[in-house]
Amino acid sequence: MGFLKNILNGREIGRLEELLDSSPAPSLFLRLSQLYRETGEESKAQEITRKGAELFPNSEELTRACENADRVHREADKERLRSRIEQYPSPILYARLAELYLKDKDWDAAGEVCRRGERSYPDYGGLWYIKGKIALARENLNEALQNLEKAVSLDEYNYNAMQLLADAYLDSGQIEKSRQALEKIRFFAPNDEKIVEKLANLNSKKTDVSASSPTVTAPVGDKSDKMKTVQIPGVQTQDGKKDSGVGTSLHLEIKQIRRVAGVRGTILIDPYGLVIASDLPDGMNEDLVAALLTNLCRSVNECAQGLTLGEFEEGIIDSEQGRVHVLEVAEMTMGVFATEETKAGLLQRAIHTFAERVIDVHH
């Protein structure tokens, strides 16, 4: 009977997919999602539900189905992350687990995960960023400001933390500090429409005339005025490279990509814009590179979705001084700087080998 039912379900799936192309309706999306779930294709069922919810945002049934599917998916992710933390703990795993609890509004559990992660990784800005979000969810503005300021002090190019900090400053009436935070974001995201709009709104507000205008400079790690240019397209750098200290198991393996002739540097960035591993030329500021690539992917992803192309996966940027390969790996961003003479086949093989290792380590 199971075999026969699968045949019948398959036929109905085909019929429903044809109907969705010609006459989409919420009931069709719900039925198709149910059939995919019955045949064991849970990911496909979730995809159909989300598509239906996007097409019919006012459908309560599809909205509930989408929320339930997301909740089931998050619970599975929580279990997976808890298991990974027991076996191979890392700060990014703690941050991801805390954020899943935060999405379910389980603030106590989210806070406890952050505290556990903080004991082992006190200098990981992603955990302080999540703690700031938890405090804001609990409407504790003072605590949120402390946590977000700590996150930014640990990573001065953390787009999400700095933007949230600017909003928190504004909510607390500290308009000038909010403006300064937004101006710092503009240094590495000059064309970000949200930031430009927020700055325009702030500039229209009446501020304390005694407050001095902020001087916007490139935040630097060693506070040195000595600068030099490393010949990688579009990135100005400084002497002395920062070691992130995060994801050390990958720091050795990422260096293997440099063995491909023409490769000049590689970096792996977590979902919060923080460096997991890097092998960049001496003098290149890895935090700034991470911020620029994160902002680039964010902008491209928004454009891709606007063009109904789905999520950004991989791309190549050509310039006068070389090219940058950018791709998404296990919810992280990877950037590889290379010359035009680099053999594409050899580079792709090296990238995919490293990407498989990243997936093994973090998933």
Residues 333 and 239 in one domain: yes
> Counting beta carbons within 10 angstroms of the beta carbon of residue 339, is it exposed (0 to 12), middle (13 to 18) or buried (19 or more)?
middle
Any domain includes 187: yes
How many structural domains is the chain composed of?
3
160: Cα within 13 Å, side-chain hemisphere: 18
Angstrom distance (rounded) from CA 65 to CA 210: 54
- How much is the average pLDDT of 214-236? 37
pLDDT value at position 171? 94
Residues 236 and 170 in one domain: no
Q: Quickly list H helices, 23-59.
A: 26-38, 42-55
Angstrom distance (rounded) from CA 265 to CA 280: 4
Report the range of poorest mean pLDDT among 53-67, 225-239, 241-255.
225-239
Cβ neighbours of residue 300 closer than 8 Å, sequence gap 6 or more: 312, 315
Domain membership of residue 187 as a residue range: 88-201
> Mind listing the pLDDT tens digit for each residue in 72-111?
888 888 998 899 888 888 888 899 999 999 999 999 999 9
pLDDT value at position 296? 83
- How much is the average pLDDT of 238-250? 47
Any domain includes 225: no
Any domain includes 45: yes
Q: What is the DSSP string of 255-295?
A: GGGGGSTTEEEEEEE-TTS-EEEEE--TT--HHHHHHHHHH
| Res. 129: pLDDT tops 60 | yes
Angstrom distance (rounded) from CA 129 to CA 95: 9
Report the range of poorest mean pLDDT among 8-12, 53-57, 78-82, 334-338.
8-12
- How much is the average pLDDT of 210-214? 41
Q: How confident is the prediction for the chain on average, in pLDDT?
A: 80
Residues 168 and 278 in one domain: no
Angstrom distance (rounded) from CA 262 to CA 255: 13
Any domain includes 206: no
**In the block, residue with structure tokens 């036929």:** 11
Residues 147 and 255 in one domain: no
Angstrom distance (rounded) from CA 105 to CA 132: 14
Angstrom distance (rounded) from CA 200 to CA 296: 22
Q: What are phi and psi of 275, to 5 degrees?
A: -75, 125
pLDDT value at position 190? 81
Residues 234 and 358 in one domain: yes
CATH of the domain at 332: 3.30.450.30
Q: Which amino acid is at 24?
A: P
Any domain includes 235: yes
CATH of the domain at 103: 1.25.40.10
pTM of the model: 0.66
**Sign of the CA dihedral with 190 first, then 187, 285, and 271 last:** negative
pLDDT value at position 250? 78
Q: Where does the pLDDT of residue 345 fall: very low under 50, low under 70, confident under 90, or very high at 90 and above?
A: confident
Residues 142 and 257 in one domain: no
- How much is the average pLDDT of 318-344? 86
Residue 247 tokens, joined: 């994801």
**In the block, residue with structure tokens 């030099």:** 228
- How much is the average pLDDT of 169-194? 89
Which of 137-141, 227-231, 340-344 holds the top average pLDDT? Answer: 137-141
Q: What is the DSSP string of 158-184?
A: -HHHHHHHHHHHHHTT-HHHHHHHHHH
pLDDT value at position 161? 92
Any domain includes 353: yes
Any domain includes 268: yes
Any domain includes 288: yes
> Mind listing the pLDDT tens digit for each residue in 15-69?
888 888 888 888 888 888 888 878 778 778 888 888 888 888 888 888 888 888 8
259: Cα within 13 Å, side-chain hemisphere: 12
Residues 284 and 325 in one domain: yes
| Res. 165: pLDDT tops 50 | yes
